[in-house]
Chain A
Amino acid sequence: MSDKIILCRCEDVTLHEVEKAVALGHRDIESVKRYTGFGTGWCQGKQCLAACARTLVALGGEIPREPITPRPPFHPLPLAHLALLEEDGEDPA
């Protein structure tokens, strides 16, 4: 195994990648997320978000005013359980 420091284990995002994103001008947490992909894996940032935000602050980035957008679902679930949800009052049939 190489000597990477993994910040986000679900998406294998390294400290080096976050440092590079900040150096490229991504100075807020949402923008670093969009560039590196941290927090977009199985846990959706439950494990890594705070650590990534602390890293960003330590690197001189913006102090977060809000977290990354918390999109559903909070836990992974089978698509079969979503398939019959109607859209905005539309009949699923």
Chain B
Amino acid sequence: MALRRTRDVRTPVCIRVDGKEVVADEGEPLTLAIQASGRDVLARSVKYHRPRGPACYAGRCDGCLMRVDGVPNVMTCRVPATDGMVVETQNVLGSAEADLLAVTDWFFPKGMDHHHMFTAFGPLNRVMQKIARRIAGIGRLPEAVASAVAPTDLRADVVVVGGGVAGLTVAREVAATGACVRLFEEEQSLGGVRGLEARAYAESETESESAQRFDADVGATLEDEAEEAGAIIHRRTPVVAILDGVVVAHAEQGLIRVETGAIVLATGTHEGAVPVEGSDLPGVVGWRAALSLLACGAVPGERVVLLHDDDHATSSLAARYVAAGVEVVHRGSPAGLRRVEGGHAAERVVVEDERGERTVPCDAVVLAAKPSGAFELGGQSGADVAWRDDGFWIVADPKNGATRTPGVWAVGAATGVVDPEAIESQAEACARAVEAHRVG
């Protein structure tokens, strides 16, 4: 893998990564600056110390954990780079590239069963537990003791969780009726996956049809409309819990508790994984990860494999990559991926399609796994969650998003509704139902 910037650094700042000076573009994800300096392995996995690199660039994997300014276990993909940051590899014996603790990966070739391992003899078990704790340690304690931060208490008539098209539409419609609406979004930019596509392809120089499909940034338009209607948008503030109807969100400065009369979940989907041999190697990234990188002005490698079941999506990304000087060495279905090979990062894939099985040399793999609904907050707020089409989804009325719990609605992709028109009409009907609940 060789992540590369596709545009010049705009505001150079200096950070220090394991003692080495690295130039970062101020405000870009710290992960990107570290990788652009030529580093593939950022971390090691917890049990087998397998090499790890970012897979999601969205705070949803273990691939970018490092020690930043004396604080362990920082998801560096969530941290904007600023001048003077000190970044260190954690929990290795040696370095990230050559970690002696990786011997555990060879010692347990298939995995381990800690329920039965070294349990017959007490003293041996105690020694092994100490060794296991050392190996699985996740960094040294922070240098300074953090001071406790009190939560902030807020009120709202309606809380919307998630700033994709569905969430923004509900927020706009409900705010227009005069209700106090607070929308929480974990990213800085809104629009969800459609917004991400628009930002990724915004600088596209190709005038192809596929690029034009993403031209209209529906997310940005909806964001403006929602704010004009009076909705309060909290960016970079993920909702971390819904407990007894109280919404708890996490801003950089501390927790926010919101008492509210209505909750609308528009949490979207998780991108998921394709578990084959080697798919945990650095250089194997999700489709949305690749779009995030494009939006930040970066490509994941020079010889890239693209695996997506939607030809349109593949063509769009391929065109963008070719324009950036990236070679697209293979395109196909994620189902055809047999394994990924490489020492510390992806070097080859073995793929199978109608032409048979073959090995393709590469340095990055972008793959679109089958998504599954982000159901977690639905489960916490009393909505049903069901298994359907190989995924978990919040159970909600496709017409207006009503769940089995009064006062809780769920809309959009988290409920399995994906068609843009269906999402829009569901979100608008949801807004009417929320308003009726509020005044009734």
Contacts and interface: CB of A to CB of B under 8 A. Distances in A.
Given A12-B47, A51-B369, A72-B241, A84 B148 contact: yes
Given A46-B61, A66-B387, A75-B59, 16 more contacts: A2-B48, A4-B105, A5-B277, A6-B279, A6-B280, A10-B62, A12-B111, A13-B111, A17-B113, A47-B271, A48-B275, A50-B390, A70-B385, A74-B238, A74-B240, A74-B241
A77 B241 CA distance: 12
Contact of B377 (A17, A70, A79): A70
Interface string B314-350: 0000000000000000000000000000110000000
17 contacts: A1-B51, A1-B343, A2-B109, A4-B277, A9-B273, A16-B111, A17-B112, A20-B113, A47-B61, A51-B275, A67-B375, A67-B392, A72-B241, A77-B255, A80-B147, A81-B148, A84-B148
B340 to A, nearest CB: 10
Contact of B151 (A3, A67, A84): A84
A9 B238 contact: no
B111 A76 contact: no
A66 B255 contact: no
A69 B275 CA distance: 22
Given A46-B270, A46-B374, A73-B241, A5 B276 contact: yes
A88 B275 CA distance: 42
A4 B151 contact: no
B377 A76 contact: no
A42 B63 CA distance: 10
Interface string A1-38: 11111110111111111001000000000000001000
B150 interface: yes
B149 A80 contact: yes
Contacts of A35: 115
Given A35-B115, A80-B148, A81-B254, A73 B109 contact: no
B167 to A, nearest CB: 15
B280 A9 contact: yes
Size range of the chain B interface in the assembly? 35 or more
Contacts of B255: 77, 81-82, 85
B76 to A, nearest CB: 12
B73 A76 contact: yes
Nearest to B384: A66
B403 interface: no
A11 B47 contact: yes
Contacts, number: 180
Contacts of A15: 275
B10 interface: no
Contact of A9 (B52, B109, B111, B370): B52
B375 A47 contact: no
Nearest to B106: A2
Interface in B17-51: 45-48, 50-51
Nearest to B71: A78
A9 B55 contact: yes
B321 to A, nearest CB: 24
Contacts of B276: 5
B48 to A, nearest CB: 5
A83 B147 CA distance: 9
Interface of A: 1-7, 9-17, 20, 35, 41-44, 46-51, 53-55, 63-67, 69-70, 72-85
Interface string B377-407: 1111000111100111000000000000000
B351 interface: no
Given A1-B281, A47-B272, A70-B379, A77 B387 contact: no
B367 interface: no
Contacts of B56: 47
B23 to A, nearest CB: 28
Interface string B130-154: 0000000000000000111111000
A49 B372 contact: yes
A11 B65 CA distance: 13
A78 to B, nearest CB: 6
B408 interface: no
B309 interface: no
A75 B271 CA distance: 16
A10 B73 CA distance: 12
B385 A42 contact: no
Contacts of A49: 270, 372, 392
A67 B102 CA distance: 33
Given A13-B111, A49-B372, A85-B255, A73 B273 contact: no
B217 interface: no
B116 to A, nearest CB: 10
A41 B62 contact: yes
Contacts of B239: 74
Contacts of B385: 66-67, 70
